[in-house]
């Protein structure tokens, strides 16, 4: 009789195996949901960072190339469209796409009657951006408008996301061959 009372009291005071399994199952489901939400948040953050980085890198490249184009007296685009040579009164620029390393590089020399740099050694964008393609093209074959279109394919890779975008911009040269600004 004493053992029956003990068994009855123990069964009421303790949880059954099914109750424990249901509680553990609920904890597992909540843990999986929390971890999924955490990784979803990190992935969205990485996507946003990758996209904004691609835009920032492109803006920096366009600003540098645009400044050089606007001041150039002579503009030469390679046949493949991946190399741009700009000669001005006191600055000469060379922009060249390194397809193997995914980099747009530049070289610059300064001084009166400068000559083109021997090579392009400086990166236009940071290490976080890979330049997938570059295209320079004169908008008028006879160069009468001295306008250049630059198309830039940029990829930014993050641990949980990446962004691949293509941007294009037109630059108008405002200096004529004599080194004087057009009106």
- Distance (Å, whole) CA 96 – CA 107: 9
Q: How far is CA 8 from CA 1, 2, 15, in A?
A: 11, 10, 13
Is 81 part of a structural domain of the chain? yes
Quote the pLDDT of residue 158.
Answer: 87
Q: What is the pTM of this model?
A: 0.75
- Kindly state whether residue 22 falls inside one of the protein's structural domains: no
Tokens of 40: 């979803």
Strands 129-138 and 147-157, sheet pairing: antiparallel
Q: Which pLDDT score, from 0 to 100, does residue 14 have?
A: 79
Task: With respect to residue 6, please indicate whether it lies within any of the assigned structural domains.
Answer: no
pLDDT under 50: residue ranges of the chain: 183
pLDDT in the model for residue 136: 93
Provide the 8-state DSSP code for 89.
Answer: S
Residue 82 in domain: yes
Domain that includes residue 58, residue range: 53-172
Answer whether residue 2 is part of any domain: no
Residue 81 · residue 94 · CB < 8 Å? no
Q: How many residues does the chain have?
A: 183
What CA–CA distance (Å, rounded) separates 132 from 129?
9
Nearest to 172 by CA among 141, 139, 142, 124: 139
How does pLDDT run across 39-54, given as a tens digit for each residue? 999 999 999 999 999 9
Residue 3 lies in a domain: no
Cα–Cα distance, 82 to 74 (Å, whole number): 17
If one counts the domains in the chain, the total is: 1
Residues whose CB is less than 8 angstroms from the CB of residue 151 and which lie 6 or more positions away in sequence, other chains included: 133, 134, 135, 137, 166, 167, 168
């Amino acid at each position: 009789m004493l053992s029956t009372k003990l068994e009855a009291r123990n069964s009421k005071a303790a949880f059954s195996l099914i109750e424990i399994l249901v509680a553990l199952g609920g904890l597992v489901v909540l843990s999986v949901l929390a971890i999924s939400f955490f990784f979803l948040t990190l992935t969205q953050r990485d996507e946003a960072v990758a996209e904004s980085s691609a835009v920032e890198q492109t803006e920096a490249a366009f600003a540098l190339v645009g400044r050089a184009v606007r001041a150039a007296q002579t503009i030469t685009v390679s046949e493949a469209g991946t190399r741009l040579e700009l000669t001005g009164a006191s600055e000469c620029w060379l922009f060249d796409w390194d397809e193997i390393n995914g980099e747009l590089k530049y070289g610059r020399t300064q001084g009166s009657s400068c000559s083109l740099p021997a090579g392009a050694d400086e990166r236009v964008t940071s290490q976080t951006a890979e330049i997938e393609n570059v295209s320079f093209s004169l908008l008028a074959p006879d160069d009468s408008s001295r306008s250049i279109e630059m198309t830039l394919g940029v990829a930014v890779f993050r641990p949980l996301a990446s962004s691949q975008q293509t941007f294009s911009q037109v630059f108008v040269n405002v200096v004529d061959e004599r080194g004087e600004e057009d009106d």
